């Protein structure tokens, strides 16, 4: 399946901060066919560093999508049955308007003059895209990590537009620990002299800072077990030397992932998006989590993973408990995995089974019956 990212331009978007972005571009991909009644559409929401290329093989660089093991013919999100959409988030750097985009007022990149954005701004922009594609009600919204936060926001903000919601390895709001890790990443970028208060676009980017930020991120995505399995205490070279030229496998891996990230991600996007995650709280104006989730009309499938210490199961259970307290239709399962937070991306056999069955029954009960 060769796919190509498309761009749609909207006139403007009013943000939670009161600022308006105009015009605004959204990069997206679609897979499968929308049926005649428009009832088989699924919106996939990517995690922090993801993009619109969720599945298939990219027309540009031949790379598979970030959730290609979950989306495709016969997969969990079966593109022979469903029409699947994924877009790059607001503030991103993969085609959707973000801090690296050109500000029409100045003709230069927005950089740090880009307005502060929120998860609900991201969702509002996705709603514009979904409307643009002619879809009134989504069969499902699904995503892990930051994608899961957007799932919750979708279900609360647009209760009539979401038949089922699948938040995976996520939270209704960041804990102090999660904010702390994000802050280390932001400080690493801002401490890099090449960051230049964000104005690095005609110079060299803050590669060292961004790379360190990514290294910290990668540690939080793995688990003690998965790191022991993958690296142990092995060295890159045969004999360890008593000096700094000795490099553990884990060090080498993190440096590689860090440097690779610099080529594909914008440092200012890192700042804006992590801040949006930290500021997110689905409770917001509703008082309590239960009151916020009372607005929802979707079925929920909540999934967490045993070894995920970045988004631990207790955070999923808070969501589940609030939904049950309001007698909402919710299924919950904590899947066994050693892969830590990365599990939702890599350990997908059981996750696929759950989602496949859940989507099929939702389609049968909530969509087919109504039409």
What residue has token string 């209760």? 159
Binding string, 288-317, against another protein, x = CB under 8 A? -----------x-x----------------
Annotation says 145 is catalytic: yes
Backbone angles phi, psi at 360, to 5 degrees: -60, -45
DSSP, collapsed to helix, strand or coil, labels residue 238 as coil
Residue 327 in contact with another protein, rule: CB under 8 A: yes
Candidate list 266, 308, 342, 347, residue with the active-site label: 308
Residue 367 in contact with another protein, rule: CB under 8 A: no
- Give the total residue count for the chain: 371
Of residues 257 and 324, the one with the C-beta less far from another protein = 324
Size of site (CB under 8 A) for another protein: 27
Residue 318 in contact with another protein, rule: CB under 8 A: no
Range in contact with another protein (rule: CB under 8 A) among 82-90, 124-132, 210-218, 322-330: 322-330
Residue 194 in contact with another protein, rule: CB under 8 A: no
Distance of closest approach, residue 335 Cβ to another protein, in angstroms: 8
Q: Applying CB under 8 A, which of residues 330, 343, 345, 348 lies at the interface with another protein? A: 330
Contacts of 276 (CB under 8 A, 6+ apart): 91, 116, 117, 118, 119, 121, 122
Backbone angles phi, psi at 177, to 5 degrees: -65, -45
| Bond preceding residue 23 cis, omega within 30 of 0 | yes
- Element (H or E) spanning 2, and its range? strand 2-3
Closest to 363 (Cα-Cα) out of 42, 36, 32, 33: 42
Candidate list 145, 172, 223, 269, residue with the active-site label: 145
What residue has token string 């701004």? 121
Q: Applying CB under 8 A, which of residues 73, 74, 104, 357 lies at the interface with another protein? A: 357
Annotation says 308 is catalytic: yes
**Which residues contribute to the site for another protein (CB under 8 A)?**
299, 301, 320-321, 324-327, 329-336, 350, 353-354, 356-358, 360-362, 364-365
């Amino acid at each position: 399946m060769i796919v190509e990212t498309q761009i749609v331009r909207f006139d403007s978007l009013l943000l939670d901060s009161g600022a308006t972005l105009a015009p605004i571009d959204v990069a997206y991909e679609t897979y499968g066919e929308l049926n005649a009644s428009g009832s088989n559409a699924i919106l996939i929401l990517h995690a922090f560093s993801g993009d619109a290329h969720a599945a298939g093989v990219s027309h540009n660089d031949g790379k598979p999508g970030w959730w290609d093991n979950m989306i495709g013919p016969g997969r969990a999100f079966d593109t022979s049955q469903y029409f699947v959409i994924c877009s790059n988030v607001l503030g991103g750097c993969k085609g959707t308007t973000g801090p690296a985009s050109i500000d029409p007022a100045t003709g230069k990149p927005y950089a740090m003059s880009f307005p502060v954005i929120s998860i609900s701004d991201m969702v509002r922009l996705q709603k514009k895209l979904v409307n643009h594609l002619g879809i009134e009600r989504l069969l499902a919204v699904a995503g892990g990590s930051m994608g899961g936060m957007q799932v919750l926001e979708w279900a609360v903000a647009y209760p009539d537009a979401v038949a089922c919601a699948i938040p995976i390895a996520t939270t209704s709001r960041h804990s102090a620990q999660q904010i702390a890790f994000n802050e280390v990443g932001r400080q690493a970028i801002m401490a890099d002299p090449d960051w230049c208060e964000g104005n690095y676009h005609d110079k060299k980017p803050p590669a060292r800072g961004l790379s360190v930020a990514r290294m910290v991120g990668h540690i939080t995505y793995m688990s003690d077990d998965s790191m022991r399995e993958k690296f142990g205490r092995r060295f890159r070279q045969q004999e360890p030397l008593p000096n700094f030229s000795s490099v553990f496998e884990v060090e080498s891996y993190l440096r590689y992932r860090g440097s690779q990230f610099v080529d594909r991600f914008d440092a200012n996007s890192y700042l804006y998006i992590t801040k949006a995650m930290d500021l997110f709280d689905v409770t917001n104006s509703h008082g309590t989590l239960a009151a916020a989730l009372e607005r929802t009309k979707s079925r929920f499938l909540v999934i967490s993973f045993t070894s995920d210490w970045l988004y631990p199961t207790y955070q999923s259970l808070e969501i589940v408990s609030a939904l049950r307290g309001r007698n909402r239709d919710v299924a919950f399962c904590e899947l066994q995995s050693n892969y830590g937070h990365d599990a939702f991306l890599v350990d997908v056999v059981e996750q696929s089974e759950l989602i496949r069955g859940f989507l099929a029954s939702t389609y049968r009960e909530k969509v087919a019956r109504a039409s």
